Chains A and B, each alone.
Chain A
Amino acid sequence: MTLLKRIWKTNLTLGFVQPILFLLGMGLGVGSLVDARTASSDALGGMGYLAFLAPALLATTAMLVGAFESTYPVLAGFKWEGTFDSMAATSLTTRQIVAGQLLWWATRVSLAVVGVTVVLVVVPDTRSWGLVPATLSAVLCGLSFSTTVGAYAATREYDQSFNYVQRFVVTPLFLFGGAFYPIEALPGILKPIAWVTPLWHGVELTRGFVLETIGFFAVLGHLAVLFAYITLGLYLCDRYFTRRLYR
C-alpha cells in the first residue's frame, strides 16, 4: 500500500495524453485520407483506419511506459538514490527485489494501458469485450520491455545509454512494429525483424482481440513469445541485479 502511494504521485500524462493525440492526429487525419481510397482500405482488411490504429496504441503505450520505467528509475535505484542497495542490506534476496520491481512495473504499465482502454471504450469503432484480453495482452507486452530493458539498465553506469534504447529500440519499433500499418507493407528484411520484437506480438494481440480477427492458435503463439521475453528478462534481471548489488 505504501508503494501505491508512490504511484499516484508520479504523473500519468505519458500514458494518457499521447495516445489521445495520436488518435486524433493519425486516426482522424490520416484515417480520412486512407479511408477515402477504397483500395487502401482493402489493404487493412476492409476496416476503417481508426479501428485499425486505435487498438495498437494499447501495445505501443505499454511499450513506451514499460521501457521508460526500467531505464532512469532503475539506474536511480542503483546509483543516484541507492534504493536497491538499501534493500540488498536487508534479508531480502535479489529474487525478491526483482519480484517487487516486476510488481511495480506491472502497476505502472497497467495504469497507463487502462487509461488508453478507457479512451477506446469511448470510441464506437473499438468498443468491444475484446478490450479486456487486449488490455491484459498489452500489459504483458509492456513487461516484455520492462524486464529486458531493466536488466540492461542494471549493467549501465551512465544514463546516456538510455538514449540508445530510445533511438534504436523504442522509436523504430514504434514506427515499424506494425502499429500504423501492417508489417506486410515493410520491405523484405524488415519483416522478420518485426516478427521477433515483442511489440509486433503485442499489436497483433490487441488488434486481434478488439477487432475479433485473431484465431486461437495465433493468440497462443503471440502470448508464448511475450512470456518468453518476460521469462528471459526476469532471468537476466536476477543475474545482473545480483552482479550489481553484491560486488
Chain B
Amino acid sequence: MGQQYRVAVLPIVSARGLTKKFDDFEAVRGIDFEIARGEAFGFLGPNGAGKSSTMRMIGCVSPVTSGTLRLFDLDPATSGKEIRARMGVVPQQDNLDSELTVFDNLVVYGRYFDIPRAECKSRARELLDFVQLSDRADSRVEPLSGGMKRRLTIARSLINQPELLLLDEPTTGLDPQARHILWDRLYRLKQQGVTLVLTTHYMDEAEQLCDRLVVMDGGRIVAEGSPRELIAQHSTREVLELRFPAGTNAERARSVTDLGERHEILPDRILVYADDGESVLHEVHARGLSPESALVRRSTLEDVFLRLTGRSLVD
C-alpha cells in the first residue's frame, strides 16, 4: 500500500483478527473491519453476539486478547488515554451520576477531559439545547424518562467534541417516539461530520442510521455491506408473509414450497421470498389455500439475518 494512498483513506478504526477472551470463553472470535472517517458504521447482531465486547475494545476500556486494533492510527494498548480524549462513548447501560444535576453531569464529565470549567459550562448549555433538555438543566437525573437519560448520556459523550462516537444499543428499551427523537439527533451529528459507530439488534435502526454494517453472530462477522447491498445479496426484493390457523403451518407449508425462491417456516407464519410477492400471493389463492392473513412487504435486514443464521434477531 503506497504511503500517499494510506494517508488519504486512513480508516479511523481498523481491526484485524480482533479477539476477546474472558478466561477461556471467546466472546469475539477474530473479526476484521475498517471504519472510514465520517461514516455511520453498525454492528448488528442478537444478544450475546459480542457487540459490547467489541465496542469496549474500541473504547479502549478492554484490552485486546489477540489480533490488532488501531484507532486514529494509534494503538489502544499504549495510547489509550490519547484515543479516549478524541472519542465519545455511550455505553449500553446509562451510567450518569445520580448525585448531580443534569447540567453538572455534563460539566463534571468535561472536567475529566481537563477542559476548563468555563468552557465546560458553555458546552454543557449548547449540548442540553442540542438534546432538547435545556428546561431540565437543574433537575436531578432520577426523575428523567429513559429517553431523556439516553439523550443526556449522548450529550455527555459529546462534551469533548469527539471525532468518533461509540453508541452501544442507543435505543434499546425506548418507546418508538423516544427512538425517533434520538435517531434524528444522531443523524444531525453525522451531518456535522462525526463518525458514528453503533451496535443494535434492531434491523430498522441499522437501516435508518448505518451507511455500512457488519452482521455479527456468535463472536464472528457473518456479512458486511450497506443495508441495501446486504438485502440484495442475501434476500429477495419482496417477502410474502402467510399466516395459517394455529398448528397448521407445517402442513400448509408443503403446498407452497415450490413458490418463490426460498421460504422459511416460523412457528407463527411462513415467509416466501420472491422478487414479486403479489404474483406469488395470486398463486397461493389459485391453489385454494386460504391463509388467515397474507402480507407482501420489502425484505429487511431481519430477513438477511434469518437467512445467514437461521434465527431471528430479536427473540
Residues on the B chain within 8 Å of A167, using CB: none
By the criterion CB–CB under 8 Å, are B61 and A88 in contact?
A: yes
A247 to B61, CA, bound (A): 7
Residues on the B chain within 8 Å of A88, using CB: 61
Within 8 Å by CB of B95, from A82, A92, A246, A247, lies: A82
1/0 per position for A45-83, CB-CB distance to B under 8 A? 000000000000000000000000000000000000111
By the criterion CB–CB under 8 Å, are B63 and A246 in contact?
A: yes
Select the stretch in B3-11, B99-107, B281-289 that faces chain A. B99-107
Give the B interface residue count (CB, 8 A). Answer: 26
Q: Which residue of B lies closest to A9 (CB)?
A: B99
By the criterion CB–CB under 8 Å, are B100 and A6 in contact?
A: yes
Within 8 Å by CB of A86, from B81, B82, B95, B99, lies: B95
By the criterion CB–CB under 8 Å, are A89 and B98 in contact?
A: no
Within 8 Å by CB of B97, from A86, A93, A246, lies: A86
Given A88-B61, A246-B63, also A93-B99 (CB < 8 A) = no
Q: Which residue of A lies closest to B108 (CB)?
A: A2
Residues on the B chain within 8 Å of A2, using CB: 100, 104, 107-108
B59 at interface (Cβ–Cβ under 8 A)? Answer: yes
Given A89-B61, A91-B85, also A83-B112 (CB < 8 A) = no
Residues on the A chain within 8 Å of B99, using CB: 6, 9
Residues on the A chain within 8 Å of B160, using CB: 90-91
Q: Which residue of A lies closest to B86 (CB)?
A: A91
Q: In chain B, residues 65-124, which have Cβ atoms closer than 8 Å to a Cβ of chain A?
A: 81-82, 84-85, 89, 91, 93, 95-100, 104, 107-109, 112-114
A245 at interface (Cβ–Cβ under 8 A)? Answer: yes
Residues on the B chain within 8 Å of A6, using CB: 99-100
B62 at interface (Cβ–Cβ under 8 A)? Answer: yes
A81 to B259, CA, bound (A): 54
Q: In chain A, residues 146-200, which have Cβ atoms closer than 8 Å to a Cβ of chain B?
A: none
- Measured CB to CB, the closest approach of chain B to A242, in angstroms, equals 10
A81 to B62, CA, bound (A): 19
Residues on the B chain within 8 Å of A3, using CB: 108
- Measured CB to CB, the closest approach of chain B to A74, in angstroms, equals 14
* Residues of A participating in the B interface, judged by any CB pair closer than 8 Å: 2-3, 5-6, 9, 81-83, 85-93, 245-247
Instruction: Offer 11 A-B interface pairs, CB within 8 angstroms, sorted by A.
Output: A3-B108, A82-B91, A82-B95, A85-B91, A88-B61, A89-B84, A90-B109, A90-B112, A91-B82, A91-B85, A93-B81
* Residues of B participating in the A interface, judged by any CB pair closer than 8 Å: 22, 59, 61-63, 81-82, 84-85, 89, 91, 93, 95-100, 104, 107-109, 112-114, 160
Taking A3-B108, A5-B100, A86-B96 as given, write out 11 further A-B residue pairs in contact, using a Cβ cutoff of 8 Å, ordered by the A residue number.
A5-B104, A9-B99, A81-B95, A82-B93, A85-B91, A86-B95, A89-B59, A89-B89, A90-B160, A91-B84, A246-B62
